[in-house]
């Protein structure tokens, strides 16, 4: 998976919030094989000592850190949070979230494009949490974004891919852009489905953190992502409306 010129073997990205303990978090990251983890600035700096301890845990994993602007509801809030995150984490990468609806946590696409433009001009490498809307995607690319992260379904809903047609259309529109399905994945089969559509990766958090066995679920998602990618790259059969026998009929004996 390529992100702004850097190549990663793992196509699974993992959030770091809401785990039952630091040890479970570390074990889940290891089981997932993830090389990139997302971190909220609010989480890291919740308290001076607690924040430093959390940051030490993340460093120990050896993963690349992707700060996000989770919880931001305006352009100014998202931009300021991104600027602060760059200072705290020492990276130009940022996952931009500008939430427009409190119930669905759907992105504010207008604000997202504006924030992306501002941050791109400041040298940030933006990964944009968006919907499958193609017009918004075009505007984000024009604003400087090179990694689009359309939602599968609302954050934390565990509903999987609500709009397969829209996600497939986005993949077709941007064949050379890095696309990562973000949000709403609840079980490994959801991740496999996203990968079978040709997406470059998936990002998930609650599905692992809140599972009965986070470590086992992390491993399940890792295997699903690998299987889905193989399913896409190996040339799957096209769907048919009618049956087609799997056993050749030529050469069979005739008893007529």
Binding-site residues for 1-deoxy-D-xylulose 5-phosphate sit at: 156, 183-184, 205-206
Q: Do β-strands 2-3 and 6-7 pair in parallel, antiparallel, or remain unpaired?
A: antiparallel
Stretch (H or E) spanning 126? strand 125-130
Q: How far is CA 85 from CA 71, 133, 143, 204, 233, in A?
A: 14, 28, 21, 20, 36
Catalytic: 26? no
Q: How far is CA 134 from CA 60, 82, 173, in A?
A: 39, 25, 8
Residue 245 tokens, joined: 């026998």
The SS3 of residue 193 is helix
**What are the φ and ψ backbone dihedral angles of 232, each rounded to 5 degrees?**
-75, -45
Angle (CA) 58-60-65 rounded to 5° is 35
Alpha-carbon Rg for the chain, nearest whole angstrom, is 20
Catalytic residue (choose from 26, 95, 125, 219): 95
Do 99 and 108 meet the contact criterion of CB atoms below 8 Å apart? Answer: yes
Closest CA to 220 of 79, 31, 23, 51: 31
Stretch (H or E) spanning 133? none
Closest CA to 96 of 120, 114, 115, 109: 115
Residues belonging to the active site: 95
């Amino acid at each position: 998976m390529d992100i702004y010129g850097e190549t990663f073997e793992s196509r699974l990205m993992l959030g770091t919030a809401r785990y039952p303990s630091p040890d479970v978090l570390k074990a889940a990251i290891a089981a997932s094989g993830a090389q990139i983890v997302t971190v909220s600035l609010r989480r890291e700096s919740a308290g001076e000592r607690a924040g430093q301890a959390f940051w030490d845990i993340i460093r120990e994993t050896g993963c690349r850190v992707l700060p996000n602007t989770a919880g931001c509801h305006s352009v100014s809030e998202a931009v300021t949070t991104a600027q602060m995150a760059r200072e705290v984490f020492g990276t130009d990468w940022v996952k931009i979230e500008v939430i427009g609806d409190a119930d669905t946590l759907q992105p504010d696409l207008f604000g997202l494009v504006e924030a992306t433009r501002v941050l791109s001009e400041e040298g940030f490498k933006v990964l944009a949490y968006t919907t499958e809307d193609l017009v918004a995607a075009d505007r984000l690319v024009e604003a400087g974004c090179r990694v689009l992260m359309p939602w599968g379904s609302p954050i934390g809903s565990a509903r999987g891919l609500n709009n397969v047609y829209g996600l497939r259309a986005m993949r077709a529109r941007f064949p050379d852009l890095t696309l990562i399905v973000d949000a709403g994945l609840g079980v490994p089969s959801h991740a496999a489905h996203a990968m079978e559509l040709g997406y470059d990766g998936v990002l998930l958090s609650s599905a692992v953190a809140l599972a009965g066995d986070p470590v086992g679920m992390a491993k399940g998602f890792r295997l699903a992502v690998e299987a889905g990618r193989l399913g896409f790259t190996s040339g799957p059969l096209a769907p048919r409306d009618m049956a087609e026998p799997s056993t050749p009929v030529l050469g069979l004996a005739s008893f007529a």
